[in-house]
Structure 1
Amino acid sequence: MIGKTAVDNSLSNSVQKKSVIETKPKRKISIPKLLIYAVLIAMAIICFIPFLMMLVNATRSNEAILSGFTLLPGSAIVENYQTMMSYINIWAGFKNSLIISVLVTLLSGYFSALTAYGFAFYVFKGKNAMFVFMLVMMMVPGQLGLIGFYELCKNLGILDTYIPLIIPAAASPFVVFFLRQYILTTLHPSLIEAARIDGASEFKIFHTIAIPIMMPAIATMSIFTFIGSWNNYIMPLVVLFSPEKFTLPVLMGFLKGSQVAQNLGSMYLGIAISVVPIMIAFLFLSKYIVNSISAGSIKE
């Protein structure tokens, strides 16, 4: 009898829970939220249309481009590619830009992290003055020192090489500033003290503790460093003289001044090839930007 009563009670409870679940009102999306979604979708479409137009026009002939706007691809991509390659070797410029950008990104990420770690957790004479001087240098446009930089490279005998494009770019004041502010909010000094007590060397602490914690910020800065080095035009134009060493932006500048500029399809194709790596970098690495910006926002 007791068992029958328990079964009846369980059945009644299950029926009541089921009725509550069935009668629970469905969650409705409010009108303001719908408007926000609509605005965001419209902005995403507006931002995507220019890139889509660039890719579509790269497949169209010059006459078709001048005739009007369309989002349907054409069939002149082979002719556009042959016309472009008859004036410049875009893949050589692509390789040169890739080598320079990758080396600049690696060196800037590592040495900027090392410098930021030193500013954050070491005490030495002149530390604050050096940091303030670095911040002041962030305000000075790089073009102001272009003539002096050219003369320095000339005296050192490193013109027409990639050294002026790689080595100076490894020292980035903004990257150092960003990484210092990031590590101050994410790495507690007690971890460093514990590692020192365990007998770890300073470089081992940096490589095994600081670098993994700083990786989201390093990845974020690496994206912007790579894009900045990839799009760098004025510096390679000044220090490089051999056509086989030209980077992709310099080659695109020469392409605009040649007869290929009359063929808009070839111009769009060259621009599309130069922009695709940047789009890929943002597509796969943009999540690190959100991670690094939100890090340290929650305090214990």
Structure 2
Amino acid sequence: MQGATKQPIAVVIILYAFLIAVAITCLLPFYSMFITSTHANSDIARRLLLIPGDQFMANYERLIDTVNIWRGFLNTVFITVTATAINLYFAALGGYGFSKYQFRFKGFLFLFVLGTMMIPGQLGIIGFYKLMDAFHMLNTYWPLILPSIYNAFGIFLMKQFADSSVPTEIIESGRIDGSGELAIFHRIVLPLMGPAMATLGIFAFIGKWNDFLNPMIILFDNELQTLPVMIASVKSQFSSDFGAQYVGIVISVVPILIFFSFMSKRIISGVAAGAVKG
């Protein structure tokens, strides 16, 4: 009996030790980033940094002297929040349509949507630039926001979730009560798709927040540039200012961590609520 009671405890200890090791491994890059931002360029280039330094404010002052980092921060927040909201809404609308409606060529159109995921976005950057030039949208935020209306992965994710978690009976009940199709979608379907939208929101937010290529090509005015482009431009004629760049990276990463923390709680609460209802 004594050996039987000790074995589960040993397994639990090993499991917790493994999880702690995984957590430390995941957090180590963030720790290194914060620590590096507090040191001078000479220390960053010369040795491994494990303890905090005293150069954070000096690096920050050089950063704001080089670029308008907080203007870039606000630009990125506006673009990311707007594009993510549009992305989530239209992905949910498209996924719901493919899941619950019957129409001609439904299977072919859905396969076509999935097929576009195989085409790298970089292949169309020249055509996209010429199209935006023809529409006189260069050096504006429209080319960075409007493409978020279409997201093949988002439509696929929402369709799969709607197939399994949005009962057709609830939709039929809404129709019997006299609700229109959009009213059913807004009042019934969207709340049920909360966990899937939270998952997609994390991917969409991080992807748009870290977008570097499109803003660099589309935006010409420095005051309109986003945070990743501004951070990459923090360099002198012959060398990069690593200390200032790391401070900029810290400023850029903190909102992502906050957003991820908030949305992950939404995912967990939604899954738990679904389990209780089931």
Question: Structure 2 length normalisation: TM-score?
Answer: 0.90
Provide the residue aligned with 2:171 in structure 1: 192
| 1:176 pairs with 2:155 | yes
User: Unpaired segments of 5 or more residues in structure 2?
Assistant: none
The question of whether the paired residues in 2 share the 8 Å contact of 1:220 and 1:292 is answered with no
Contact 1:58 1:269 in 2 (8 A): yes
1:275 aligns with 2:253: yes
Q: Equivalent residues in 2 for 1:72-83 (5 A)?
A: 72-83=51-62
Q: What residue is the counterpart of 2:94 in the other structure?
A: 115
Deviation at 1:297, TM superposition (A): 9.0
1:145 aligned residue (98, 107, 124): 124
Distance 1:196 1:266, change over 3 A: same
> For the structure 1 residues 143 and 239, does the alpha-carbon distance in structure 2 shift closer, same or farther, using more than 3 Å as the test?
same
Distance in 1 between the 2:175 and 2:8 partners? Answer: 54
1:44 aligns with 2:11: no
Structure 1 segments of 4 or more deviating over 6 A? 25-28, 291-300
Per-residue deviation, 1:113: 0.8
Q: SS state of the match for residue 160, structure 1?
A: coil
Give 2:74's aligned residue. Answer: 95
Alignment of 1:107-256 (within 5 A): 107-255=86-234
Count residues with an aligned counterpart: 275
Partner of 2:236: 258
CA contact (8 A) 1:182 1:296 kept: no
Answer whether contact 1:112 1:171 (CA < 8 A) is retained. Answer: yes
Residue 259 (structure 1) shift: 5.2
Query: Does the Cα contact within 8 Å between 1:107 and 1:170 map onto a contact in 2?
Result: yes
1:284 deviation in Å?
Answer: 2.3
Specify the code of the residue in structure 2 equivalent to 1:176: I
Output the aligned Cα RMSD: 2.5
Aligned equivalents of 2:237 and 2:269: distance in 1? 46
Superposition deviation, residue 26 in structure 1: 7.5
In structure 1, runs of 5+ residues without a counterpart are 1-24
Superposition deviation, residue 179 in structure 1: 0.5
After TM superposition, give the deviation of residue 29 of structure 1 in Å. Answer: 3.7
Measured in 1, the distance between the counterparts of 2:60 and 2:251 equals: 11
CA contact (8 A) 2:194 2:267 kept: no
Q: Which deviates further from its counterpart, 193-202 or 53-62?
A: 53-62
Deviation of 1:45 (Å): 0.9
Preserved contact between residue 232 and residue 245 of structure 2 (Cα < 8 Å) = no
Q: Which shifted more, 278-287 or 176-185?
A: 278-287
Taking every aligned residue pair, what percent have the same amino acid on both sides? 42
Tell me, yes or no, if the aligned pair for 1:185 and 1:296 is still in contact at 8 Å.
Answer: no
Mapped contact 2:231–2:248 kept (Cα < 8 A): yes
Q: Is the 8 A contact 1:84 1:260 kept in 2?
A: no
Q: Deviation digits for residues 68-108 of structure 1, max 9, x if unmatched?
A: 33433222222111111121111111111110000011111
For 1:292 and 1:135, the matched residues in 2 are separated by 27
CA contact (8 A) 1:186 1:295 kept: no
Partners in 2 of 1:261 and 1:79 — Cα distance? Answer: 18
Counterpart AA for 1:247: T
Shift in Å at residue 290 of structure 1? Answer: 5.1
Which of 260, 264, 276 is the equivalent residue of 1:286? 264
Cα deviation for residue 64 of structure 1 reads 3.8
Q: Alpha carbons of 1:150 and 1:67: their partners in 2 closer, same or farther (altered >3 Å)?
A: closer
1:204 Cα offset (Å): 0.9
CA 1:148–1:262 in 2, change beyond 3 Å: closer, same or farther? closer
Measured after TM superposition, the shift of residue 285 of structure 1 is 1.9
Give the alignment's TM-score, normalised by structure 1. Answer: 0.84
